[in-house]
Structure 1
Amino acid sequence: MSELLRDLLAANATHADEYRDRFDDVQESQAPDAVTICCSDSRVLQDQIWGNEEPGRLFTCGNIGNRVVQRTAAGTAVSGDVLYPIEHTGTELAIVVGHTGCGAVTATYDDLTDGLDEPAGIEHCIGLLKDTLAPGVAALPTDVGRASAINRLVEYNVDRQVEFLRESDDVPDDVAVVGVVYDFQDVYSERRGEVQVINVDGETDVPALREANPEIKDRISRLWTY
């Protein structure tokens, strides 16, 4: 057995001790307050970014590129893991969580501009982003460097995932959909790990968002208006 696995199991034992009584109210069912769709990047601490230590509070989905879509026999649809809490547990808030320096967005950008040769599984995931990001790549300013281009496309991708959720007939109109970017690269501020709100129910204009949400106006920011 590897030393790393032993260390992980020891940490889990501590977790089990700390959480012994925290599952009492959710052992038989769940009613999460929000579903979050995060990138599965190892730097995105999916529950900890919200300070969440409460089992049952967040329904957390993760995949490369924080995608809300999947391909089905009937065509492109809202991913089942995203839709499940909305359909079956009454969850009324969906949060799409992009992040600075996203590898999936970078790979999609590279594939669109130069082409990539990836294993089939990765190619499939990138393929779910290519059509979405292609117009964003075409619209990029010509005077931005590679890193800045990627972080603008991170916002563009979050916007498109929010848009897909809002336009889907499977997502009720009373479900609020918010897009955010998790920043650990000092792109928006020097507070590494801080979330910036960039989209609320399809609204992306920063002054309008700040006026409509004055209580969080210092957390609303964007790099790009396109």
Structure 2
Amino acid sequence: MDQTILELLERNREHARTFETRFDDVQDGQRPDAVTVCCSDSRVLQDHMWGNEQPGQLFTCGNIGNRVVQRTADGEVVSGDVLYPIEHTGTETAIVVGHTGCGAVTATYDHLTDGLSEPPGIEHAIGLLAPHLRDGVETLPDGLDREDAINRLVEYNVDRQVQFLRESSDVPDSVTVVGTVYDFQDVYGGRRGEIHVVNIDGTRSTADLRADYPGIEDRIDRLWEY
């Protein structure tokens, strides 16, 4: 047996010991407080970043590029992964979580600027991101190095995903949509692992957000006010 599997199963044994009684109230159904859409990068600890150890609190979705967009025969729609808890469990908070140094954003940037060849599955994911990032690539300030360009596009991608949720007729107006960036690379100047709020319900001006949400003003930050 692969050693990694053995180690993971042993950790799960301890998880089961710790969590056994925490499923009592949710084993027959769920009403999560929020749905989070995170990048599936292995460095993005999707529940742990919120300190969440309570089953049933967060409905967590993961994909490369923290996309909310799904392509169907009828065009682009909100991904069913994201829409399910909103439609069926009464969840009224949606959080898009980008992260610094995102590989999917990097690949999309390379695709839009130089052309890029990837296996079909990855190419499909880049194809979902590219139409939403194209204007951002063209709007980037001159003189940025590659790392700075990518991290500004991370914010831009979060903004576009928030916008797509807010403009979808499938997402009720009562749903609060928050855009964030998870920073584990010292980009924002805080602690590594901090979440920075960059967009709430389409508002992305840091001055406006801090005025509107004084209780979290120290968590509101952006690299790019475009």
TM-score range, shorter chain: over 0.9
Q: What is the alpha-carbon distance in structure 2 between the residues aligned to residue 212 and residue 117 of structure 1?
A: 44
User: How many pairs align?
Assistant: 226
> For 2:130, what is the secondary structure of its paired residue?
helix
Q: What is the alpha-carbon distance in structure 2 between the residues aligned to residue 88 and residue 154 of structure 1?
A: 30
TM-score normalised per structure 2: 0.99
Letter in structure 2 aligned against 1:17: R
Q: Which residue pairs with 2:113 in the alignment?
A: 113
> For 1:224, what is the secondary structure of its paired residue?
coil
Q: Which residue pairs with 1:25 in the alignment?
A: 25
Residue-by-residue CA offset, 1:26-46 (whole Å, 9 max, x unaligned): 111000000000000000000
Q: How does 1:178-193 map to 2 (within 5 A)?
A: 178-193=178-193
Note the residue ranges of structure 1 that are not aligned, 5 or more in a row: none
> For 1:22, what is the secondary structure of its paired residue?
helix
> For 2:77, what is the secondary structure of its paired residue?
strand
> For 1:98, what is the secondary structure of its paired residue?
strand
Q: How does 1:90-101 map to 2 (within 5 A)?
A: 90-101=90-101
Residue-by-residue CA offset, 1:21-70 (whole Å, 9 max, x unaligned): 00000111000000000000000000000000000000000000000010
Q: What is the alpha-carbon distance in structure 2 between the residues aligned to residue 225 and residue 17 of structure 1?
A: 47
CA RMSD between the two structures: 0.5
How far has the Cα of 1:189 moved from its partner? Answer: 1.6
Letter in structure 2 aligned against 1:106: T
Q: What is the alpha-carbon distance in structure 1 between the residues aligned to residue 190 and residue 56 of structure 2?
A: 32
Note the residue ranges of structure 2 that are not aligned, 5 or more in a row: none
How far has the Cα of 1:190 moved from its partner? Answer: 3.6
Q: What is the alpha-carbon distance in structure 2 between the residues aligned to residue 73 and residue 131 of structure 1?
A: 17
- The percentage of aligned residue pairs carrying the same residue is 70
> For 1:117, what is the secondary structure of its paired residue?
coil
Letter in structure 1 aligned against 2:212: A
Q: What is the alpha-carbon distance in structure 2 between the residues aligned to residue 218 and residue 87 of structure 1?
A: 32
Letter in structure 2 aligned against 1:153: L
How far has the Cα of 1:143 moved from its partner? Answer: 1.2
Letter in structure 1 aligned against 2:205: D
